[in-house]
Structure 1
Amino acid sequence: MKTSQSLKISIFTFILTLIISSTTYAQVGWNPELEKECTEAIAEMKKEAPKLKTYFAEAYGYAIFPKITKAGLGIGGAGGKGLVYRGNTATGESKLGQASIGLQAGGQQFSELIFFEDKAAYDRFTGGKFKFGAQASAVAITEGGAAVAPYQDGVAIFTHVKGGLMYEASVGGQKFTFEPH
């Protein structure tokens, strides 16, 4: 009888612990699949462009968007989500939206990595209303490429094409949101 009651209490405690744990993860926005995708994208980009290691060592923080999907035919758009880090600690999740107009046709997927040179650049991004205008330039990471970009307004941007084909001569911009963990 006591064993049956102890077993019920143990099962109840276990289930309660699972419920509390899953609720806690949902509240802080922990997304293990997104975290895995971010880690894999960073590893791939570092492999393709070893000089990125310097940016990781010296930057105040960074945002990584492991999979951005882009498509267009005259008018285009792109979107994706990623994680924002201060140092090596994830501080929140970010969503990227992009709109463009001009000569464009096709679709592609790519990763985007944004380094924040200092606290001011990081704070602007995590303020939730950060935008890149049409004049923002990114360095495309190619196998064996140099992958060196100067900071502009406190950020350095790198992209890495994952697949697809996109012909483009368009004007557009990117907008980001930020949700802290």
Structure 2
Amino acid sequence: MMKMMRVAVFVFLFLGVAAGAARAGWDPKDDEKAQQAVDYIKKNAPALDRFFVHAYGFAVFPDIYKGGLFLLGGAHGQGYVYELNTLVGESTVTQVNVGPQLGGQSFSEIIFFKSKADLDNFKKGNFELTAQATAILIKSGMATNTDYSNGVAVFALPKAGLMADLTVGGQKFSYRSR
């Protein structure tokens, strides 16, 4: 069992290094990818329209890939950051989970920031989601009465996969301006 845990930790560390490789400069195709991600969320979660209208900014992650085996799991994805509906940068999310789990899935995630101070905190790299502040799953056609919590509202839209877990973990975000 201990050997499998070591192998799993090694694999997740390797994937984290490979996924976190730096890119040189801003790719012009990122503007199109970012807009497609926003359009996908708007189309599949129309209940979030009020957040798009009133939020100071938001970070959208079109594809976060999550996997877990036995007691260790993780997730990673790349996204885009908007301020006053203008694309200003990109972000990555890395998640680590501990607890019983098995499977894999992909999902989209969007984080709305109520004020400039909330977005600025995110940009400084001072932003983490813990088990106590998890994303609310959105189902197609669902109306939501959710509001901001500590200046942020987080939503996840499942895309594909099957995963069973009962875990504790957190998400850490990075930010890079254009």
**Does residue 168 in structure 1 map to residue 162 in structure 2?**
no
Contact persistence 1:139–1:148 (CA under 8 A):
no
Instruction: Please list, as runs of the form range in 1=range in 2, the aligned pairs for 1:104-143 lying within 5 A after superposition.
Output: 104-143=101-140
Deviation at 1:112, TM superposition (A): 0.4
Identity %: 45
Output the TM-score relative to the length of structure 2.
Answer: 0.81
Of 89, 92, 104, the match for 1:92: 89
* 1:31 shift after superposition: 4.7
Output the aligned Cα RMSD: 1.4
CA displacement at 1:38 relative to structure 2 = 3.2
Return the alpha-carbon distance in structure 2 between the equivalents of residues 149 and 137 of structure 1.
Answer: 13
Aligned: 1:54 with 2:53: no
Structure 1: gaps (5+ residues): 1-25
* Contact 1:64 1:113 (C-alpha < 8 Å) held by counterparts: yes
Per-residue displacement from partner, 1:22-54 (whole Å, max 9, x unpaired)?
xxxx53x2351x443332332232223212111
SS at match of 2:46: coil
CA distance in 2, matches of 1:101, 1:126: 27
- Secondary structure of the structure 2 residue equivalent to 1:55: helix
Deviation at 1:168, TM superposition (A): 1.2
SS at match of 2:171: strand
Q: CA deviation at 1:115?
A: 0.1
Q: SS at the partner of 1:53? A: helix
Larger Rg: 1
Measured in 2, the distance between the counterparts of 1:144 and 1:78 equals 26
Q: 1:159/1:172 Cα in 2 relative to 1: closer, same or farther (>3 Å)?
A: same
SS at match of 1:39: helix
Partner of 2:66: 70
- 8 Å Cα contact 1:49-1:147 kept in structure 2: no
The 5-angstrom pairing of residues 136-155 of structure 1 reads: 136-155=133-152
TM-score by length of 1: 0.80
Give, in whole Å, the separation in 1 of the partners of 2:76 and 2:159. Answer: 14
Q: Displacement, 1:147?
A: 3.5
Change in CA separation of 1:160 and 1:37 when aligned onto 2, cut-off 3 Å: farther
Shift, 1:71, TM fit? 0.2
Deviation (angstroms), 1:58 = 0.3
